[in-house]
Amino acid sequence: MSYDSEDANVDVVKIMGTLGSFPDPHAFYGTVTINDDPAPVGTQVEARGEGVITRIEGNPVVTTEVGQYGSADPLGAKMIVWGDIPDGTTLTFYVNEVSTGQTLPWHSGDVTQLDLAVTMPIEVFNDSFEDCSLVNWVQDTQEDWFCSEQRVVEGTYSAEVDGRATDATLTLKDAINLSIMSEATLTFSWFIESGLDSGEYLALDLWNGTAWVEAARLSGNIDQENVWHNEEIDLGAYLISDFKLRFRGYMSYSSEDANVDVVKIMGTLQP
């Protein structure tokens, strides 16, 4: 079309198809637990394997009863696993996209009770500083940390350190018992202003049970400034009963500052 006043439209584009002919499906039902608790309503259960068709009605299924997927009633709904599947194919079962590690062979026409259990990460600690009190933290005597509205990742507040600061620390107040975890991950976001000079920084230290270990650092004139950096730290080497972390800022002028926001620890309980 050659003029601004000319236009055209498209609406309701649809592709319909008919699935091919496959052997009778293998149906499943049973209990489902997450971290040893009955799974809540709305939990997704899925089977995957060679030739299995997923993202269709019946696989995955979403629970409508606490701790139960499918029904033992012969006429009740079940998870239906079908497709161009060789007999004996190994199926792996997932709960909310996390593998249970449980497997069974697929057999056309079978109905199987399979009770599923999965261990998922839980939230161990979370602070986005929205209470604006730093209640979960303690400072050193410099007291250069405060809650700030100047910049945030989410919400209204972040934690800010203002120069002049000489390794001013913001330390987790209460130790966290990570010894009961098989794995744990720390995530957070942090930010340094462009005013930070060479040799000035914002650092993260982790307590290993006997000493503080620097695990990460944003350095002035080296790392990208005036942007948020999202960090993820594997805490596998820190699964101790008295884990702590601290942020530490070094900057020479009152116009220099840095921020931390959305500090979170996720962990998976030991079996």
pLDDT digit string, tens, across residues 221-264: 999 999 999 999 999 999 999 999 999 999 999 889 999 999 99
Is the CATH number 2.60.40 carried by domain 26-118? yes
The matching CATH number, chosen from 3.40.640.10, 2.60.120.260, 3.40.1170.60, 3.40.1130.10, for 123-269 is 2.60.120.260
Q: 3-state DSSP: the chain helix, strand, coil percent, rounded to 5?
A: 0, 50, 50
Model pLDDT for residues 134-182, shown as the tens digit of each residue = 999 999 999 999 999 999 999 999 999 998 999 999 999 999 999 999 9
Spell out the domain ranges in the chain: 26-118, 123-269
Span 209-229, mean pLDDT? 97
Q: CA 48 to CA 96: how far, in whole Å?
A: 13
Output DSSP code: residue 52: B
Count of beta carbons in the 10 Å neighbourhood of residue 169:
21
From edge to edge, which strands make up the β-sheet containing 90-95? Answer: 61-62, 44-48, 90-95, 98-105
Q: What integer pLDDT is reported at residue 12 of this predicted model?
A: 79
Written as six digits, the tokens of 38 are 């009955």
**Cβ(206)–Cβ(215) under 8 Å?**
yes
Q: Which long-range contacts (CB under 8 A, 24 or more apart) does 224-228 make?
A: 225/192, 225/193, 225/194, 225/196, 226/191, 226/192, 226/193, 226/194, 227/191, 228/151, 228/153, 228/189, 228/190, 228/191, 228/261
**Cβ(27)–Cβ(112) under 8 Å?**
yes
Written as six digits, the tokens of 236 are 């596998």
The reported pTM is: 0.75
